[in-house]
Structure 1
Amino acid sequence: MRTTVITASALLLLTGCAGQSPDPSSGQTSGDIREEVTEASTSITDVYIALGDSYAAMGGRDQPLRGEPFCLRSSGNYPELVHAEVTDLTCQGAVTGDLLEPRALGERTLPAQLDVLTEDTTLVTLSIGGNDLGFGEVAGCIRERIAVETPDNCVDLLEETIGEQLDQLPPQLDRVHEGIKDRAGDAQVVVTGYLPLVSTGECPELGNVSETDRRWAVELTAQINDTVREAAERHDALFVLPDDADEHTSCAPPEQRWADIQGQQTDAYPLHPTSSGHEAMAAAVRDALDLQP
């Protein structure tokens, strides 16, 4: 659902035209004029709020960081590329609970991300769910095995725990979507998927990582994205993931990577999207919303 919001300036224009007759020579009716004024004065990005975790928050390492030490975000992330005038609440390490409740570390507390939403919000982008599963732990385990061959596969160590957490994720996502709807019922919600870090097949970048672990990581990423997508569909939100994302993993040449497990060749944060990945995600979001670049 796309929201149409008439801004204060549009209301003034409409009021000013109320007592005027349209120019007969123009061929326009008063209804035509009102429609043109409304379209010119409204935008889905009028009040844009970005919510979520570090997959949305962290752009390239060459970009300045801002936020609390336990809730960092950087310039050049996909929310900023979707629209410069964004209220960016994305947060490094965020889980679903951090959107619904205050996040505390020691004596520092951040409000719940959803608290910023109001009935005037027109657009919400959302990246959440991966940290609830400990996906970073999975990626970190695989990263450790790039340089050092071990007898233990990550899938053997983590699959049971991750599977249990994956089963618990749908109701947690439902709570987030319901919270957004309660606070910003007319907003268009766009849920962004997780760009895959690894792929199967030939991949020198993954060194000693076993094919078993690589296959599991690919399947797990797909399961997370399916779960996030299904939750979006249950709540009438759009789900967005760039086409051919699986061709732009750490196994692709550095200049073609949209996510990178090491980050050294792409100036990305390890286990996160690259600058090109943020650009690809922003383009996919804008395309889904039919926004001009």
Structure 2
Amino acid sequence: MRPADPANPRCVRSLGNYPNVAADVLGAELTDVTCSGATARDFTRSAHAGTPPQYDALSADTDLVSFTIGANDAELFRLPNTCVNLLPEPLGTSCEATITGPGTDRYAAARHGALYTDTAGISAGHDACAPPADRHIQSALSLRDGFPLHPTAAGSRAFGAAVAATLTDD
């Protein structure tokens, strides 16, 4: 999604991504180490050659860290080939039932003293199968507004606003 961040071309980071949107809404200074293709493991190792581990961006002055579990962590690109339901429910098991659990992410965040922003509700009707103008997530086959299975500009605005609201709600 444009505009691209020239600071690290290997990470294909956007200056319009949700962390930038949230920082703008909050009036906060942002050090963005978002990196396309990174997984949670890349907090402590390089996501791409020449890219420092994301933990290296933290300092004693760091006030907030946003963390996204995305398609790379969930192995979303592998799932379509392994999560095929040939039988209708109740005989088969849906992919959703296989890979998610209700409230699992929110529970894990609370258990670790973290705040959690659930983007499912604001994404309803705006998924990758929605008409292109309505999408918050890019479809797997389109490069119209960013990279496949990544937030669109509209999605980044919605997710950034939701993160800012989570941080300002008491």
Q: TM-score, normalised by structure 2?
A: 0.75
Q: CA 1:68 to 1:83, structure 2 compared with 1: closer, same or farther past 3 Å?
A: closer
- Stretches of structure 1 that go unaligned for 5 or more consecutive residues are 1-59, 142-152, 160-209
1:112 match? 53
Between the aligned partners of 2:76 and 2:101, the Cα distance in structure 1 is: 9
Q: TM-score, normalised by structure 1?
A: 0.46
Pairs aligned (count): 158
Q: Calculate the aligned-residue CA RMSD, in Å.
A: 3.0
Counterparts of 1:145-184 in structure 2, within 5 Å, are: 154-156=82-84
Between the aligned partners of 1:211 and 1:132, the Cα distance in structure 2 is: 28
| Structure ID, larger Rg | 1
Q: Are residue 121 (structure 1) and residue 65 (structure 2) matched?
A: no
Q: Are residue 230 (structure 1) and residue 107 (structure 2) matched?
A: yes
CA contact (8 A) 2:13 2:36 kept: yes
Q: CA 1:232 to 1:258, structure 2 compared with 1: closer, same or farther past 3 Å?
A: same
Q: CA 1:63 to 1:130, structure 2 compared with 1: closer, same or farther past 3 Å?
A: same
Identity %: 35
Larger RCO, structures 1/2 (Cα 8 Å, 6+ apart): 2
Tell me which protein shows more helix as a share of its residues.
1
CA contact (8 A) 2:135 2:154 kept: yes
Tell me which protein shows more strand as a share of its residues.
1
Amino acid at match of 2:142: G
Between the aligned partners of 2:104 and 2:10, the Cα distance in structure 1 is: 27
- Stretches of structure 2 that go unaligned for 5 or more consecutive residues are none
Counterparts of 1:1-293 in structure 2, within 5 Å, are: 60=1, 62-84=2-24, 85-100=29-44, 102-103=45-46, 105=48, 108-128=49-69, 130-138=71-79, 141=80, 154-156=82-84, 215-216=94-95, 218-219=96-97, 223=100, 226-242=103-119, 243-261=121-139, 262-264=141-143, 266-290=144-168
Shift of 1:230: 2.9
